Amino acid sequence: MTVLIVEDERSLSHEIEIFLTKEGYHCDAAFSGAIALQRIEENSYDFVLLDLGLPDTDGLLVLKEAKAKGCEAAFIILTARGHVDDKVKGLEMGADDYLSKPFSLAELQARMQAILRRKHGLKSNTLQIKDFVMDINNRTVHHNGNLVPLTKKEFDLMHYLALNRNRVLTRMQLIEHIWGDTMDEEYDSNFIDVHVKNLRKKLTAFAPIDWFETERGIGYRFNLPGT
C-alpha cells in the first residue's frame, strides 16, 4: 500500500512515515500543496494523509483539485482546526475520514484499515482466499492452521491481489502499489514474475491454486467467482 503524507510540519511527517513504513506501507512526503498535487499526478496512491494548514494553500483546495483530476486515493484529513464546518466540508468534497491533531499513530492506522475494509466490502481484518486465511494486522497467512512462510513482499503481493480479486493487475500496478518509486533503479522485466513464482510455489506446497491466474502479457489475477 502506498501513502502520500502531505504535512508541512516535518517532524510529524517523519514520525508518520517511520511508523507506517514499519507497518508495511510505502510512503512519500510532500511539504506543500503544489508538491502534493505534482506527486498525485505522477504516482498512484492508496492513501493521501492531508494537512489542511499548508504553507502555500488550503488543504481543501488540494483535495478539490485532486478529485477533479480523478485521483482514486482515500483521503484522510489531518487538521488542527476545531471548526466542524471544515471537517464537514472536507467530507462533502470527497475525503474519507479526518483526524484532529494531536492524534495517535495507532488510531491513524486503524482508520486506514477501516477505510480499506469499507472500500473492499470486508467485515474484518482477515481475508479468506479458498482455504487460505490472511491476517492483515499480523501480516500472516495460514492454511488449515499452518503458517505459510511468506516474505514481506510476498505477503504484500498476495494482499493486494486479494483486495482486487477478479481484477487483472498489471505488472506496473503491482510495482507502484507495493514497491513505489524504490523500484525505479532496480526494476527489470521479470522482477515481478520472480516474486509471483516464489509466492505461487509456497502456496502450492499447501493446496492447489488454480485461481491464481496469469493474464499473458498483462499481469495477474485472483479469479475467485462468487466473491
Q: Which of 110, 89, 87 is nearest to 98 (CA)?
A: 87
Tell me what percent of the residues of the chain surpass a pLDDT of 90.
58
**Residue 181 pLDDT:** 55
Mean residue pLDDT of the chain comes to 88
**Residue 121 pLDDT:** 73
* HEC string for the chain: CEEEEECCCHHHHHHHHHHHHHCCCEEEEECCHHHHHHHHHHCCCCEEEEECECCCCEHHHHHHHHHHCCCCCEEEEEECCCCHHHHHHHHHCCCCEEEECCCCHHHHHHHHHHHHHHHHCCCCCEEEECCEEEECCCCEEEECCEECCCCHHHHHHHHHHHHCCCCCEEHHHHHHHHHHHHHCCCCCCCHHHHHHHHHHHHHHCCCCCCCEEEECCCEEEECCCCC
**Span 136-149, average pLDDT:** 93
**Span 185-209, average pLDDT:** 84
**Span 108-125, average pLDDT:** 84
**Residue 25 pLDDT:** 87
Q: What is the β-pairing status of strands 2-6 and 47-51?
A: parallel
Inform me whether the pLDDT recorded for 157 exceeds 80: yes
Considering just the CA atoms, what is the radius of gyration of the chain in Å? 18
Inform me whether the pLDDT recorded for 159 exceeds 80: yes
**Residue 132 pLDDT:** 96
Q: Which of 10, 57, 17 is nearest to 33 (CA)?
A: 57
CB 34 within 8 A of CB 56: yes
Specify the fold of 126-222.
Answer: Arc Repressor Mutant, subunit A (1.10.10)
Cis check: omega of the bond before 225, within 30 degrees of 0:
no
Q: Which of 80, 11, 96 is nearest to 46 (CA)?
A: 96
pLDDT in tens, 6-31: 999 999 999 999 999 988 888 999 99
pTM comes to 0.75
Q: Would the CA dihedral through 13, 138, 161, 96 be positive or negative? A: negative
d(CA 204, CA 211): 11
pLDDT in tens, 79-96: 886 667 777 888 888 999
**Span 195-221, average pLDDT:** 94
Q: Which residue has the higher pLDDT, 149 or 184?
A: 149
Question: What are the extents of the domains in the chain?
Answer: 2-120, 126-222
φ, ψ for residue 55, nearest 5 deg: -70, -25
Q: Would the CA dihedral through 146, 147, 148, 149 be positive or negative? A: negative
Instruction: Give the CB-side neighbour count of residue 147, counting CA atoms within 13 A.
Output: 6
**Residue 188 pLDDT:** 52
CATH class of 2-120: alpha beta
**Residue 177 pLDDT:** 78
Inform me whether the pLDDT recorded for 186 exceeds 60: no
